[in-house]
Structure 1
Amino acid sequence: MHVILVTMGSAGDLFPFLWIGRALRERGHRVDFLGPELHALYVDAAGLTFHGLPADPAVLDHPDLWHPTRGLAVVWDATRPAMAQLPAMVAALDSGKDTLLLVHPLALPEADLCRLNRPGLRIAATWLAPSNLPTVHDPLLLGPWPVPTWVPHGVRRWLWRTLAARFIDPVALPGLNAARQERGLPRVRSLIDYIQTIPDLSLALFPDWFAAPVPDWPQPLYQAGFPLYDPDPDAAPSATLRAFLAAGAPPIMFTPGTGNRQAGRYFEAAAHAVAQLGLRAIFLTPHREQLPGSLPPSICWQDYVPLKALLPHVAALVHHGGIGTTAEALRAGTPQLVVPLAHDQFDNAARVVALGAGVSLHATKVTARRMGDALSTLIDNDRYARRCAEIARSQAQGPGIDGLCAALETLVSHPSSED
């Protein structure tokens, strides 16, 4: 079959698609990859045919990018110029009846427009984190706010719709409905309700022990394991890092995510926290300018190190709660202090805590003292290390990429009666 992959966003959004794309290519399928231009090197290194979409890196400096309620609007607005090109690009690439469009959830509205040229086009959605799939079932967080278990489902549904009507629909629907009106299509009233009706198949890219299926997730749905992908799995640590690791006790690793250029306060608090506790640390970020001007010998800065290679050598990981970083820490059996800012990070943090794999501290509450207290809780209690080791051992039993690819092949090879 011919698979067209469509994604956007940071490396955390990119790598799951590379994981799937490489596997499909190895099974003999044609794969075209549509993604932000800045990710061309990653896609080329994976051996996939790349088609660049416009992306403005200035969005990383938007003051609301990491806001718990306004962040989605920033991401939506930043990705619409690229998504507007999707119907024409897919039409130009479409090679015939066995075409599958595999897309990021935020690309689903434009993927639906692609069906105007190809009514029988198959569309699969990749849900990268549990919170991407709205539900009224527990555990339920609305942004950073947990909903108590005693709240009835009807009230939860009302809360979802109220928040969507205030924070999502006013941003998303005007442009979406204008594009649909140009094509003679009816207006959409609720983005969340609409996008869940689009895919022929949904892929939940996280295991059921991390998030068990609930009745109101879209169907049909295939749940896989974490899409753990490393663009350079054999990369060796730098000489500086090797010397640092060998010079003392395992350090604490801090990363706010590769796309975060607004973490100056986070790193300042981290530097003070490890100094007060007498710990060593690794600061991992490609943006050196957000670190303190000078770092003591007990702190090593690195712009990039594969997490798979580094995590076995650290005592704990402090991170933002992105699903990719969370999954890597669970695989490595590394205790986590999750400091969520926005998007799916609050839900991921809550799940890490529920698993007994770590603790959480809201980003707005970060101070050196609070971060130090949270680190002390994490590293002074052996139960976190033991529980993380148990989780790491159990992951080999989860579903892999072969089952996911087979589900996609079945979707394309068995057309519905509506075609």
Structure 2
Amino acid sequence: MTTFLLSTSGTHGDVLPFVELGRALVGRGHDVTLYTHEFYAATARRAGVRVEAPDTREEYDRQIADSHNLLREVVADLDHLTDFFRRNGLFDHIRFEYTRMAEVIRDRAPDDVVVVARHTSGLAALMLRESLGVPVAWVGLAPTQYMATPLNERIFPRSLGGPVNDLRAGFGLPPVTRWGGWLRSADLHIGLWPEWFDRAGEPAPPGVALTGFLLNDEAESGELPDDVRALLDPAPVLITGGSGQLLHGDWYRVAVDACVRVGRPALLVCRHRGLVPDDLPPGVHRFPALPFATLMPHVAAVVHHGGVLTSARAVASGVPQLVLAHGIDRPDNAARMRRAGVGEWLPAARWEPAGAAALLRRLVEDPGYRDRVRRLAPSVDARNSAAAACERLEGLAGRVGAAAPSTVDEPGDDLGARLRRLDPHRRETLAALLAERRGRVSL
């Protein structure tokens, strides 16, 4: 038996795959603790996973609400990212994880423990690797987490680097002066997406183990309420902007307008009432939450924000998807789904009701989309994906992590050189993002 310490933060797409991974590790006889938000504690405990939370549900809700304008603010000034971390106690969360995990590691032994953390945010894990020699795996939830590494190497010194180095000093660690090597220093990198999704865009770096989408069917299953069942004939469109509030202010308005123009009834799922238009048109029904694993196979199409978990769930359900993508990993996820032939997408710079409606009508009326997505649906297999990830993680047991290269970086590999080597797929996605940045759409 190995002790696995898992760490993640964020919303459903960031946390539910880690809950499923924890469930699989427990099923293989390991001792598992998940460090995440109290909001997800009950879900994790039902999966047999012990939980340690650095926050309360109320603190989590405040953080989610505070994130609504974060994209716009950070584009304007990187200092807003540091302010966001401080306002919401996120540096304290890193300290909490480091301290609590260190107690476990010291009580056992570094070669009896494996730390598994979400890519980019798992900073406590990398520090524990340095200070206590524990092996560390970083888990990527979407390809852009690797694509953005060159950018993160520049962002950290200008924003989060100072506070992170202050934390390191408190743990007796020297400051990071070269962020590239340190941010790549995990002993194992896992990407939770399949080969076909990887081929549809810039591929993952060499050495990243692709294990497939990891859905949490238990957390997303359940009986549909009677009032929802009554709305499934004719098949409606599902509208969901995800579980968080890091969303373009026009998102729900555009999605609703597209459904109205197509003449399709719609089920709008959003627990944040303030994001939804005050007066929904006839035929559009809002619910705070619904079990997507149960619901999605009954809808005609899914209009969503581009989160990788929602994208994968639509494929697993055999349903075409229209992605209104803005920010973070969403444009890249959307572009990959379009290249795979299972959906369409629009960047925010091209959002207008007629265009969105034309794409939605095409998805609903052209049987080719549904045929292609049904062929891909068997590739989304949570059990096989979890088993593949567990096998990789078990391979770290008994190893001792080496000191991270925190003061030496790769020579001669500057940001400009990396941008010149961009994959054509990545250039296409970046072009869409730059169009937004030029101000063609108001945020």
TM-score bracket relative to the smaller structure:
0.7 to 0.9
Residue 96 (structure 1) aligned to one of 65, 89, 108 = 108
Letter aligned with residue 92 of structure 2? P
- Whether the aligned pair in 1 keeps the contact of 2:169 and 2:175 (CA below 8 Å) is yes
Query: Corresponding residue for 1:177?
Result: 165
1:60 corresponds to 2:45:
no
SS at match of 1:24: helix
- Whether the aligned pair in 1 keeps the contact of 2:136 and 2:187 (CA below 8 Å) is yes
Over aligned residues, Cα RMSD in angstroms? 2.9
Shift of residue 179, structure 1, vs aligned partner: 2.5
Q: How far apart, in 1, do the equivalents of 2:211 and 2:320 lie? A: 23
- Whether the aligned pair in 2 keeps the contact of 1:68 and 1:342 (CA below 8 Å) is no
- Whether the aligned pair in 2 keeps the contact of 1:245 and 1:251 (CA below 8 Å) is yes
Query: Corresponding residue for 1:380?
Result: 365
Aligned residue runs from structure 1 range 109-148, under 5 A: 109-115=123-129, 117-119=131-133, 121-134=134-147
Q: How far apart, in 2, do the equivalents of 1:288 and 1:172 lie? A: 32
Q: How far apart, in 2, do the equivalents of 1:263 and 1:400 lie? A: 32
TM norm structure 1: 0.83
CA deviation digits over 1:324-373, x for unaligned, max 9? Answer: 00111111121111111211111101111111111111134423223212
Query: Corresponding residue for 1:242?
Result: 229
Shift of residue 398, structure 1, vs aligned partner: 9.8
Q: How far apart, in 1, do the equivalents of 2:42 and 2:250 lie? A: 31
Q: How far apart, in 1, do the equivalents of 2:381 and 2:391 lie? A: 19
Structure 1 residues 336 and 67: CA distance shift in structure 2, 3 A: farther
SS at match of 1:289: helix
* Structure 1, gaps ≥5 residues long: 135-141, 143-159
Shift of residue 4, structure 1, vs aligned partner: 0.8
Aligned residue runs from structure 1 range 390-405, under 5 A: 390-395=375-380, 399-405=384-390
Structure 1 residues 164 and 204: CA distance shift in structure 2, 3 A: closer
Letter aligned with residue 61 of structure 1? A
Q: How far apart, in 1, do the equivalents of 2:130 and 2:381 lie? A: 42
SS at match of 2:70: coil
SS at match of 1:102: strand
SS at match of 2:53: strand
Letter aligned with residue 115 of structure 1? R
Q: How far apart, in 2, do the equivalents of 1:91 and 1:60 lie? A: 28
- Whether the aligned pair in 2 keeps the contact of 1:312 and 1:332 (CA below 8 Å) is yes
Letter aligned with residue 11 of structure 2? S
Aligned residue runs from structure 1 range 16-415, under 5 A: 16-54=17-55, 55-62=59-66, 63-67=68-72, 70=75, 73=81, 78=88, 79-94=90-105, 95-97=107-109, 98-115=112-129, 117-119=131-133, 121-134=134-147, 161=150, 163-164=151-152, 167-197=155-185, 199-212=186-199, 217=205, 219=207, 221-232=208-219, 234-246=221-233, 249-260=234-245, 265-395=250-380, 399-413=384-398
Letter aligned with residue 93 of structure 1? V
Structure 1 residues 202 and 165: CA distance shift in structure 2, 3 A: closer
Letter aligned with residue 369 of structure 1? A
Q: How far apart, in 2, do the equivalents of 1:130 and 1:9 lie? A: 17
- Whether the aligned pair in 1 keeps the contact of 2:8 and 2:15 (CA below 8 Å) is yes
Shift of residue 243, structure 1, vs aligned partner: 0.8
Shift of residue 315, structure 1, vs aligned partner: 0.9
Q: How far apart, in 2, do the equivalents of 1:12 and 1:68 lie? A: 23
Shift of residue 37, structure 1, vs aligned partner: 2.0
Structure 1 residues 240 and 352: CA distance shift in structure 2, 3 A: same
Query: Corresponding residue for 1:2?
Result: 3
Letter aligned with residue 174 of structure 1? G
Letter aligned with residue 207 of structure 1? P
Question: How many aligned residue pairs are there?
Answer: 388
Q: How far apart, in 2, do the equivalents of 1:215 and 1:395 lie? A: 19
Structure 1 residues 323 and 190: CA distance shift in structure 2, 3 A: farther
Q: Percent identity?
A: 27
TM norm structure 2: 0.79
Letter aligned with residue 361 of structure 1? L
Shift of residue 279, structure 1, vs aligned partner: 1.3
Structure 1 residues 398 and 392: CA distance shift in structure 2, 3 A: same
Letter aligned with residue 96 of structure 1? R
Shift of residue 414, structure 1, vs aligned partner: 5.0
Letter aligned with residue 205 of structure 2? W
Shift of residue 215, structure 1, vs aligned partner: 8.3
* Structure 2, gaps ≥5 residues long: 404-443
